[in-house]
């Protein structure tokens, strides 16, 4: 019998370690194994998505369907053990309601399939659940064939840009040079986004495996995982996983005895949003202040310490592991023409069930918010969803049937970004939302180029005066002009996308700006 307990950051914050202790004590105190005639094991897993209902506990009895309990406290544990594990009947009214089954039913859990089911710290559990099959298959192919396989899968970078991953790899492979670097960008900085953190906490070996595949294909001998320091549990579990891989010869000078060299280390970032931009990230690894630099040269040609470098994010490498294990055709059969595979979203704000959701690309925003997340909190009216983080855009009710894929979201005025969805209801002021996101990006601007450093400051001043009832005639047009200029002339992605929340709220909610300005008159 297995007791699976969520010990991701959300679970721990809700007291899951105490719940785990309570199960272990109860097992010992009552000699449970002797009583039920089966081995009972408490497994500390990663996040399973429905974070708002932590602590989540699954009781897995062989031959029976697993039962999930939510909002579990240490006080409830003796009853679960006595009635369910010993007595064989789930505790009435304490199991997760029908919404939990619905929450899972509409999803397509692939990349996230091991999170919440395996012991995140156990390499043996990873191996027992198809671990390292992807890299074992990869090394039966030539490096060029691995790149072709990734191209054929249609995988696009999950960090936000959506650039085809296989094409990116071929650039780095084609760059001359003996020494090449591989980087995993785990500097997840969007407010409300925690997909990468959960993957690192719940399935760290999967990310290492995806990086090994990339290293083999491109010819990189050294790799870095750049993780924000605000993710201490992700760093701890990843370091533990790297150390175990080194001990077992999975990483090192002859990875798994398969004849290629790859060493991996973690670099903890100091929490600057701009370090999610790849040139600023590399500057930070090199020990400089995290500031962007002009491209070209692109990292594939001149990256970390001037050497050819490939950078992908956490979710992209996780996808690679599954593509190599199951094949490009399997992967390409999921999703839409332009966006293959699944996408993990972090849904926060005014929905009934917040948390992490993995859906095939191409489902609609309505399906994500209503079918999976249960609709709007307190049965209020949906007003908008901010897709793509502070660099994305707000989609109104008219766009709720937009498909969730790279191209459809851009057409609707937002972007996939890394996968943050912040939901707003009818009580939300959209001008205030624009001000909130611009406050964030202005504060995070590295200050290197004038359009972003000064332009965002002035845009924020205009928004602040509109919000405080001091708006002037012509302010909306001024905001639009400045937004387009900043987008065109900023040096890096932060400045090029920071005005998006302002532009999309003006596009869909202009009347709210006008009402604020009119209030004054």
Binding residues (CB under 6 A) for ligand SF4: these are 274, 292, 445-449, 452-453, 490-492, 494-495
Sheet holding 2-6, edge to edge: 41-45, 2-6, 57-60, 67-69
412 or 438: CB nearest ligand SF4 = 438
Q: Which residue is nearest to ligand SF4 (CB)?
A: 495
Least distance between ligand SF4 and beta carbon 17 (Å): 39
What kind and span of H or E run contains 462?
helix 456-467
Instruction: Count Cα neighbours of 206 within 13 Å in the Cβ-side half-sphere.
Output: 34
490 or 505: CB nearest ligand SF4 = 490
Least distance between ligand SF4 and beta carbon 20 (Å): 42
Least distance between ligand SF4 and beta carbon 290 (Å): 9
Least distance between ligand SF4 and beta carbon 491 (Å): 4
DSSP output for 107-176: ---STTSSTTTSBTT-HHHHHHTTTTHHHHHHTTS-HHHHHHHHHHHT-B-TTTT--BHHHHHHHHHHS-
Least distance between ligand SF4 and beta carbon 192 (Å): 20
| Widest distance between CA atoms in the chain | 79
53 or 500: CB nearest ligand SF4 = 500
389 or 471: CB nearest ligand SF4 = 389
Residues 226 and 282: their CA atoms lie apart, in Å, by 9
22 or 456: CB nearest ligand SF4 = 456
Helix 456-467 to helix 500-520 angle (10° resolution) is: 40
Least distance between ligand SF4 and beta carbon 450 (Å): 8
Return phi, psi of residue 376, to 5°.
Answer: -85, 140
109 or 448: CB nearest ligand SF4 = 448
116 or 499: CB nearest ligand SF4 = 499
Residues 61 and 266: their CA atoms lie apart, in Å, by 38
Residues 88 and 82: their CA atoms lie apart, in Å, by 9
Question: 168 to each of 1, 150, 172, 288, how far by Cα in Å?
Answer: 45, 10, 7, 25
Nearest to 205 by CA among 99, 129, 272: 129
64 or 457: CB nearest ligand SF4 = 457
146 or 449: CB nearest ligand SF4 = 449
Least distance between ligand SF4 and beta carbon 495 (Å): 3
Helix 204-218 to helix 232-247 angle (10° resolution) is: 60
Least distance between ligand SF4 and beta carbon 502 (Å): 15
Least distance between ligand SF4 and beta carbon 191 (Å): 17
Residues 355 and 10: their CA atoms lie apart, in Å, by 10
């Amino acid at each position: 019998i297995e007791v699976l307990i969520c010990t991701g950051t959300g679970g721990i914050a809700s007291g899951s370690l105490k719940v785990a202790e309570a199960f272990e004590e109860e097992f010992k105190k009552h000699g449970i194994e002797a009583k039920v005639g089966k081995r009972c094991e408490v497994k500390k897993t990663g996040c399973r998505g429905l974070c708002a209902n932590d602590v989540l506990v699954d009781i897995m009895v062989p031959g029976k369907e697993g039962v999930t309990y939510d909002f579990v406290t240490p006080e409830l544990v003796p009853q679960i053990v006595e009635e369910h594990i010993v007595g064989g009947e789930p505790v009435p009214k304490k199991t997760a309601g029908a919404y939990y089954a619905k929450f899972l039913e509409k999803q397509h859990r692939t990349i996230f399939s091991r999170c919440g089911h395996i012991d995140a710290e156990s390499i043996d559990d990873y191996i027992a659940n198809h671990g390292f099959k992807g890299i074992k298959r990869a090394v039966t192919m030539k490096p060029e064939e691995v790149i072709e396989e990734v191209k054929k899968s249609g995988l696009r970078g999950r960090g936000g840009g959506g650039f085809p991953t296989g094409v990116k790899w071929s650039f780095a492979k084609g760059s001359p040079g003996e020494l090449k670097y591989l980087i995993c960008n785990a500097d997840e900085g969007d407010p409300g986004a925690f997909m990468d953190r959960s993957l690192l906490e719940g399935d760290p070996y999967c990310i290492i495996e995806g990086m090994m595949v990339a290293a083999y294909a491109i010819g990189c001998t050294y790799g870095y995982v750049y993780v924000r320091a605000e993710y201490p549990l992700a760093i701890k579990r990843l370091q533990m996983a790297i150390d175990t891989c080194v001990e077992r010869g999975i990483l090192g000078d002859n990875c798994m005895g398969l004849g290629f060299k790859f060493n991996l280390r973690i670099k903890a970032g100091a929490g600057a949003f701009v370090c999610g931009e790849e040139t600023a990230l590399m500057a930070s690894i090199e020990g400089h202040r995290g500031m962007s630099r002009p491209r070209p040269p692109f990292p594939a040609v001149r990256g970390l310490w001037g050497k050819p470098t490939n950078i992908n994010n956490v979710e992209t490498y996780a996808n690679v592991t599954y593509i190599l294990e199951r094949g490009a055709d399997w992967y390409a059969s999921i999703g839409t023409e332009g966006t293959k595979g699944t996408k993990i979203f972090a849904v926060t704000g005014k929905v009934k069930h917040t948390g992490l959701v993995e859906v095939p690309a191409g489902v609609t925003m309505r399906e994500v918010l209503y079918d999976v997340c249960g609709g709007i909190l307190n049965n209020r009216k949906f007003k908008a969803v901010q897709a793509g983080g502070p660099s994305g855009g707000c989609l109104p009710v008219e766009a709720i049937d937009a498909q969730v894929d790279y191209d459809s979201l851009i057409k609707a005025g937002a972007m996939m970004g890394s996968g943050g969805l912040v939901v707003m209801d009818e009580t939300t002021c959209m001008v205030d939302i624009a001000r909130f996101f611009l406050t964030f990006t202005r504060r995070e601007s590295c200050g290197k180029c004038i359009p972003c450093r000064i332009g965002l400051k002035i845009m924020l001043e205009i928004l602040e005066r509109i919000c405080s009832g001091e708006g002037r005639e012509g302010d909306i047009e001024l905001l639009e002009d400045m937004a387009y200029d900043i987008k065109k002339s900023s040096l890096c992605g932060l400045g090029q996308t920071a005005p998006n929340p302002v532009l999309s709220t003006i596009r869909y909610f202009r009347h709210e700006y006008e009402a604020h300005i009119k209030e004054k008159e």
